[in-house]
Structure 1
Amino acid sequence: MIIKNDYPILEYSTERKAVINPDRDASKSDRDGQDSGGFERFPRLCLVTFFEEVLAGAVERYGGEKIGTYVSEMKDFHVYRFTVDGTEICAVQAVVASGSIAMMTEMLYGCGVEAIVCCGGCGVLDDIPEGAVILPVRALRDEGASYKYLPPARFIELQSGPIECFRKVLSGHGIPYIECATWSTDGFYRETREMVAYRREEGCKAVEMECAAMAAIAQFRGKVFGQLLYSGDILTGDAEDYDDRDWNNNVSARERLFYLAMEALCML
């Protein structure tokens, strides 16, 4: 049944089976060692990270084996399997924005993944030091993909299981962190000063592009999802004073977050 609305983005289909389903390639495997778009079954636990260079280091460190490829017009995103302290996981570099990450998330769940932990950077809407660890507990759904999986709602609550694992890991290492709502938006160049102020009034301290969509897909599919972020650029000043703080070159923050996320993943 289709729940109709004057605005197409808010229309929702209750039918669970689509014309193209994410598990259609799960039984296929790469032929003759070539990337065919097919996959073998993946481990239950998956780390999705935006940090390409940190992932490459982990693959080398743990002897990662390529087990599949998410084929995109941007590039091929390889999925690697390796073992961390006796726990088998897989890991992949994330694509950017809600529509793209929705397709990758579906592929991972369709190929046998049961729990995803995602780690990435974010903008901040408050005076938060660069590199600070941020733990989203809810996401404001200001993007498109989540509305294809769940009926319209302003926020989506993130699952308590991964949040508790993050808390244990961070507290165990004595690392301070900020729990907050995150603003998931598709409008990177529409984060106006008045909109930033409005989102701050709603309790958002972080802004990114993927969390709401990934959380919605996990809820729809009956899977597990959690996210950990680090503070990147800051959006609290005037447009002329915008400071990106060179956030995507914060190597120490990226490496630290990756291995904290991995530790939490292994607890799920």
Structure 2
Amino acid sequence: MIFYDPDAESLLLPEKLVSSLTVGGLNRHLLNVKEKVLLLFLKRDLKRVVKFGGGKVHLAWKPYRTVCQCEDFTAALSPFGAPNAVALAEELYAFGGRVFLVFGYCGSLSPELRGGDLFLPHMAIREEGTSYHYLPPEEMAEGSEELIDFLYDFFQKKGFSVKKGVIWTTDAIYRETKRKIDKYSSEGCMAVDMETSAMFCWGKAKNVKVASLLMVSDGFVDGKWQPFFKNGSFVLKRKKILKALTEAYSSLKI
């Protein structure tokens, strides 16, 4: 079944929905956001970024969304999963967002990616449903090369372990089977997540820059799943990464 519809016009518009669900909806300009947008999936990550970035809650988006205005960019909390991330990106795009960076987490499929490492996907395998509503099946899911290279150089210079490569994006977290893991890893795929391919395709469809910076939170070692996110070293490293991320994104010129 083909989900892609080349008709660019949707009858349900994000600006209409957001305006109807927020306190700022009575005066649409109050909902405006900065051109640079950062999406995060954990409240504690958002809280740290807002602290590091001199931000505060964007009250006009209440009670519908948790959106914060930092000095140089807008940060917003997204639920996990491709449909949620893209829906939020659509809404923030409608009110001024033009560059989108996702900070999230991924599972390692490669011995080259260890717990706490950073991963910058440049291409993604499309095994989720959302992307097929934005681009036809034959289109590649690719991020902004310019934004990816900027982040890679920045974090390398800061001394972080960071790699670029291909990621597998899936909707079905509990269907990461041994057969699929073996197949994708043998083809050079380094990690798995739930949002990247959809965000990349959305960005291509909207002609906006999109990148994902992912921290390796778990992985598959000798055929078994291994979590890294409870390790003390992981927690400490995440705080350092979020501080560096805030500095990097604040310094990005668009």
After TM superposition, is the score higher than 0.5? yes
TM-aligned CA deviation for residue 237 of structure 1: 2.7
**Would you tell me which structure has more helix in proportion to its own residues?**
2
TM-score relative to the length of structure 1: 0.83
- Name the structure 2 match of 1:52: 43
Q: Which runs of 5+ in 2 are unaligned?
A: none
Could you tell me how far 1:253 is from its partner in structure 2? Answer: 3.1
TM-score, length-normalised on structure 2?
0.87
Residue 23 (structure 1) aligned to one of 11, 15, 30: 15
- Percent identical among aligned pairs is 24
Structure 1 contact 125–196 (Cα < 8 Å) conserved: yes
Q: Which residue of 2 aligns with 1:3?
A: none
Give 1:24 deviation, angstroms: 2.7
Query: How far apart are 1:206 and its partner, in Å?
Result: 0.8
2:242 aligned partner = 258
Structure 1 residue 252: Cα displacement:
2.2
Whether 2:206 is the aligned partner of 1:221: answer: yes
**In 2 relative to 1, CA 260–94 (structure 1 residues): closer, same or farther, beyond 3 Å?**
farther
Distance in 2 between residues matched to 1:214 and 1:118, nearest whole Å: 9
Say if 1:121 and 1:232, in contact at 8 Å, map to a contact too.
yes
**Does the Cα contact within 8 Å between 2:100 and 2:211 map onto a contact in 1?**
yes
Q: Please tell me the root mean square deviation across aligned C-alpha atoms, in Å.
A: 2.6
CA distance in 2 between counterparts of 1:70 and 1:188 reads 30
Establish whether residue 91 from structure 1 lines up as the match of residue 75 from structure 2.
yes
Whether the aligned pair in 1 keeps the contact of 2:57 and 2:66 (CA below 8 Å) is no
Tell me, yes or no, if structure 1 residue 125 matches structure 2 residue 101.
no
For structure 1, the residue ranges without an aligned partner over 5 or more in a row are 1-6
The Cα of 1:255 is off from its aligned counterpart by 2.1
The yes-or-no answer on 1:79 pairing with 2:67 is yes
Q: For residue 174 of structure 2, what is the amino acid of its counterpart?
A: Y
> What SS does the aligned partner of 2:115 have?
coil
**Compared with structure 1, are the counterparts of its residues 253 and 120 closer, same or farther at alpha carbon in structure 2 (3 Å cutoff)?**
farther
1:144 aligns with 2:129: yes
State which of 58, 76, 93 in structure 2 corresponds to 1:66. 58
How many equivalent pairs are there?
Answer: 248
Work out whether residues 117 and 160 of structure 2, in 8 Å CA contact, stay in contact via their aligned partners in 1: no
Q: 1:262 Cα deviation (Å)?
A: 2.8
In the TM superposition, residue 260 of structure 1 has moved relative to its aligned partner by: 3.3
CA contact (8 A) 1:46 1:265 kept: no
State the distance in 2 between where 1:253 and 1:45 align: 24
Is it true that 1:160 corresponds to 2:145 in the alignment?
yes
Distance 1:28 1:183, change over 3 A: same
Q: 2: CA distance between counterparts of 1:248 and 1:140? A: 29
Matched residue of 2:101: which SS?
strand
Structure 1: how far apart are the matches of 2:127 and 2:84?
Answer: 15
Distance in 2 separating the partners of 1:215 and 1:190: 22
Alpha carbons of structure 1 residues 27 and 234: separation in structure 2 relative to 1, 3 Å = closer
Counterpart among 65, 78, 94 of residue 110 in structure 1: 94
For 2:88 and 2:22, the matched residues in 1 are separated by 18
Relative distance call for 1:155 and 1:198 in structure 2 (3 A) is: farther
Residue identity matched to 1:44:
E
